[in-house]
Structure formats: C-alpha cells, structure tokens
Amino acid sequence: MNEKKVAVVAIGGNSLIRDPQHQTVEDQEEALRDTAHHLADMIEAGWDLAIGHGNGPQVGFILRRSEIAHKTEGMHEVPLDVCGADTQGAIGYELQQALQNELYHRGIHKNVATIVTQVLVDKADPAFAAPSKPIGGFMDAAEAEHRRTDMGWSVVEDAGRGWRRVVPSPQPKEIVELDSIKAVLDDGIEVIAVGGGGIPVIDTGEGEYRGIAAVIDKDFACSLLAREIKADLFLIATAVEKVAVNFGTPAQHGVDRMSLAEARALLAEGTHFARGSMAPKIQAIIWYLEAGGTAALITDPRNIGRALRGETGTWITRDGGTP
C-alpha cells in the first residue's frame, strides 16, 4: 500500500435520511453529523478520502416542489440534470461543513471541498432504449399522455397508483472533473465528488457536453472514481453491517470475507443479492478489483471503525484474504 492511503467512500441514502419521519434538511444535517464522525475516524487513522453520496430522495423532493410550483404558480420546471447539480451542492455543503467541524474539534487541520461533478455517459448505451428508473410524482393518464406526446417523456403506469416518468440508468464512462479531484486529493484536501452518481452528460460530438435526463448508479460512479484514482480502498457504507448470502431465507448468513471469484459466482446466481440494493454494490466492487483494486469493504457507517480493524463488515479482495 502507498504511504499516502486513499479511500473512496460511497455513502448510501441511510446516511442522509434514516426513515420517512426524518426527511427535513435539519434531519439530514443531523444524520450527516453522525456520518462525519465516522469519516473523521478514518482521516484520523491516516486515510485521505474521496466521498460519494446518494441523492435519490433529494432529487425527488426538488422535482415534486418543481411540479407543484408549476401547477399552482406557473413557474418553470427544473430539468433532471439541474436537480442533480442542486443536490450535489446542497448535500456537499452539509457534509463538508459537518466533516470540517468534526475535524476542527479533533484538532485535525484538514480542508474539505465539494466538486460538482459531471459524468459522461454514452448516447448509444442500451439503457436509453429502455428507461426504467421512476422519478417525480404521479400523474393521471391525461397528463402522462401530454408529457409523452409533447415533451418526449417515457411514462409507465405504476401498479394502479397512477403514471410516472421513467428515465434511463446508463453506465458511467468518464468523470469529467477527474483531474480536479486528483489535484485536490494531491493537496491533502478531503473531497466530496460524483454525488448521486454524478450529473449525466453526453458528448455532442462538437467538443461540448450537454446534460441529459438520466440517473447514474452512485456505486457504479464511485467504483469508476476508485479505479481512476487507484484508490487503496473502496468502501461502501450502507444500511447493513455486513453482506448476507441466501438473503431472506432460513439459510441467510453474514459473510466476513469474500474473494473476487466468489463475488462473481454469487452475483451470477442471481438469488443472493437484491437487484435494487446489494447487487449493484457487489458489481461495483467486482469492477474495482478487476481493474487492480486492492480491497473493498461493505458495512454500515457506525461500524466503519470496527470494520477497518477487521472486527465486522464484509471484506472483498482478489484472493479473499485479509487486506
């Protein structure tokens, strides 16, 4: 491992919104203060951090406010890519303040910065032909048809509850601000980047980027970042203390160590990891290790310290051994 230890930490939605009764900005700030405490433990132990975060609920809030304001006051609606940028700024602000304050109280003289990050996606990605990610509020059939016909939206009927817009979830190809992220890390500054998976942009073919309505998986984007900066550790902080196999069955049990080959095999079976939660996390780690990554760890925020000491969490390495 290099003398300078760099970890990419992907923090999930549970680090921002713990439950449906705690969704206000103040609630999020309190949750982020708890997360910042655990991140500061890593910094105190000698790690430099590049931190990614989820933003699904926050984007949903902005879209809902935008829809209501449009209907009641005739205000313009906010495009999805701009919603992503808004959440990167707001959540980045809350997290960098919480982490900066925690470091100050520990006497650690480190700066924290947020980089609003664009992530390039391919216009030919198959996801654009099959939009599947629901966003925004529910619509009746008439409004859905108007949006589909006049605005080019893809809409689907959602289990009898109404119609919703769906957008594609393409693969991240390139982090546009990568050099800036590297420069900040090289200066010893803790960085918050690729928030919400990054703002999806496409190359127009004329040397310009343009935002596009899509959602990039946060763990996939953090995996790409970990590969590009050659991080010593890829840590996914989520809602569970460790990964479970045979999930939801009497044979369910937690896993302490897993090799790259075992991770590939379990993911391929398709029965161990839920598609919308653990499966993308395992896939993100597989890509990181296949590209030469050293070690990956999955645990919940409050157990990060214990997991780094080998006391809990699920470690995934190329050979399944202790990193």
Catalytic residue among 13, 60, 137, 211: 13
Query: How many domains does the chain contain in total?
Result: 2
Residue among 56, 133, 136, 313 flagged as catalytic: 133
Concerning whether 133 is annotated as a catalytic residue, the answer is: yes
Mean pLDDT on 139-148: 85
At 2, is the pLDDT very low, low, confident or very high (cuts 50, 70, 90)? Answer: very low
Phi-psi region of 136 (alpha: psi -120 to 50; beta: other; left: phi over 0): left
Full domain range(s) for residue 313: 5-121+172-317
Higher pLDDT, 270 or 125: 125
Q: Are residues 144 and 69 in the same domain?
A: no
Model confidence band, residue 56 (pLDDT cutoffs 50, 70, 90):
confident
Same domain, yes or no: 161 and 54: no
Whether 267 and 286 map to the same domain: the answer is yes
14 is catalytic: yes
Together in a domain, 216 and 146 = no
Q: Is 4 a catalytic residue?
A: no
162 and 309 in a common domain: no
Instruction: Tell me how crowded residue 153 is: count the other CB atoms within 10 A of its CB.
Output: 20
Residues 151, 27, single domain; the answer is no
Residue 323 lies in a domain: no
Point out the catalytic residue in the list 52, 136, 218, 293.
218
Question: In whole angstroms, what is the distance from residue 259 CA to residue 156 CA?
Answer: 40
Domain match, 160 and 261 both? no
Residues 156 and 225 reside in one and the same domain = no
Residue 80, domain member (yes or no): yes
Note the pLDDT of residue 1: 38
Say if residue 190's pLDDT is above 90.
yes
- Burial of residue 142 (CB within 10 Å: 0-12, 13-18, 19+) is exposed
Has residue 309 got a pLDDT over 70? yes
Pair 141, 231 in one domain: no
Decide if pLDDT at 201 tops 70.
yes
Residue 290 lies in a domain: yes
218 is catalytic: yes
Q: Retrieve residue 167's tokens.
A: 């957008």
Residue 66 counted as domain residue: yes
71 is catalytic: no
Q: Which of 52, 84, 281, 293 is catalytic?
A: 281
